[in-house]
Structure 1
């Protein structure tokens, strides 16, 4: 543990996901301290980054969700300060944060993802044409938000207008994605390997913010119930999708399984939730890693960056 030196667990920040980051960061901090790591809380909303060097921090465990922490911004600052940090670098974080650019990369590489249209909040939009092109039911997503913030499922022109208007409160570019009717799965990545997949079920229309953080009715199935060969295939796709956007270290890849049995990639999370009840810790537990072992393995990656 002495090899880590003084560690800043960076969480909180200014994004729309601040409250989730505070919970994730506290869990990581508690886990590292329980392991004997000289770890301390560091909230960049309240403390200037110059304090990292002034206070002698030797590395950063990044648990900042969303803008500023998951989009290449903090990664670039830490590169400039020459401080090792967990997770993806500048390119991987920035690319994975942008759902539109991510899907364009996947399409270029022939990886499976749902049909989509991109709109800008200020452009003239033919709403009915979009509904027709995307099969009548559409998922509306801000290009650069996480935790399902600003997302909506719509099936008519009126709701599509409202959903796009709502999404533009978070982002200028909006991803409109063909609705995939089927199961929701996620695969966590640790190092260069896929952890056991998780199948999420919710009575909500989709795995939204309420289902993730507020509902007692969301169920997490791990083992996920897939035959071994299908789960391996899912893990292989997840690793390819993760590598395609230059993500590194650890993260999570989300999927839908259509009624046709086809896998559809949704997005990559480079700083996913890390409360003790979050998805990555659940997958790690199934793989035989406790929460404290998981955070230690993630931090160990900074020793070889």
Structure 2
């Protein structure tokens, strides 16, 4: 078993944590594990190691967007989580929103725009959000508040083309899906925006599960998460995030995005939800490995 971690994306440090925790759990579950920090020599290293399966604990570009998945298909090595197309679709926020709309899932208005255009004028009426079209973990997210007089000044690290979407107010909810099973709804409580620090720094957020929300909203979240997993063609474990404006009832529930390789520490959102329904972290990792595949 080769556990792929680290990598070259902006989410490298998060991936290292996920990978080490998964490697520990897989050893506890009885697997022989080799930890692999995925660099540009990954193909050569995997050819040398010749693993039976790769556990993909990479996050962000190259590891989560179909690139590593395509390489593993070429090498003929079964791997965990989603395949090439689903990984690429989910990482591309614009294309995944198009897929959600086709499936009748509720999303906010959004469009792609050049970095120069976004800094020159309001591309959408405030409030709105500006973010990279193909990063995760809230990397490079700008919130332009209601009544803002000037457009945002984006950092030099932002890509030349970004996604701009209408700001969705309300409570932060998330649902993990294992295969065809939606686990439960978690509410994420933070002081302010659920940004990178809130996700990964100690004390950055609090998780309430099951979320204390009306049954109608909980059932809709579970249904929408299953449908998002299916319409993108995901396999294994995924996690879909929502915002819910409770003042608007069911009409206030919108789908934000689907993560095909959620964070994988014992206290990450998906393992917490698995534990809530009676699946331990080693059992979850074993299930993910047993679901590994190639050519699908």
TM-score (structure 1 length as normaliser): 0.90
Give the whole-Å Cα distance in 1 for the aligned partners of 2:275 and 2:107: 28
1:289 is aligned to 279
2:179 is the counterpart of 1:173: no
Q: Does 1:79 align with 2:58?
A: no
Q: Which moved more, 1:115-124 or 1:16-25?
A: 115-124
Distance in 1 (CA, whole Å) between partners of 2:53 and 2:21 is 18
Out of 150, 153, 178, the residue aligned to residue 143 of structure 2 is 153
Distance 1:215 1:153 in 2: 23
- 2:13 aligns to what? 19
**Aligned pair 1:274/2:264, yes or no?**
yes
Residue 124 of structure 1: how far off its partner (Å):
7.6
User: Which residue of 1 is the match for residue 174 of structure 2?
Assistant: 186
Q: Note if contact 1:145-1:170 (Cα within 8 Å) is conserved in structure 2.
A: no
Match 1:66 to one of 44, 60, 63? 60
CA contact (8 A) 1:119 1:125 kept: no
Aligned to 1:254: 241
Structure 2: 5+ residue runs without aligned partners? none
Following superposition, the deviation at residue 229 of structure 1 comes to 4.1
Match of 1:4 in 2: none
- Superposed CA RMSD in Å reads 1.8
Cα distance in 1 between the residues matched to 2:163 and 2:211: 28
Counterpart secondary structure, 1:243? helix
Counterpart position of 1:298: 288
Partners of 1:217 and 1:145 in 2: how far apart? 20
- Deviation at residue 226 of structure 1 after TM alignment: 2.4
Aligned partners of 1:230, 1:286: CA distance in 2, in Å?
Answer: 19
Q: Which runs of at least 4 in structure 1 moved beyond 4 Å after TM superposition? A: 122-126
Q: Once structures 1 and 2 are overlaid, which stretch shifts more, 243-252 or 8-17?
A: 243-252
Gaps of 5+ in 1: 1-6
Change in CA separation of 1:298 and 1:124 when aligned onto 2, cut-off 3 Å? closer
Contact 2:131 2:142 in 1 (8 A): yes
Instruction: Give the CA deviation at 1:185.
Output: 0.5
Aligned residues: 290
In structure 2, distance between residues paired with 1:217 and 1:71: 27
Secondary structure of the residue aligned to 1:197 is strand
TM-score when normalising by structure 2: 0.92
User: What secondary structure does 2:85 align onto?
Assistant: helix
Alignment match of 1:245 (pick from 232, 248, 251): 232
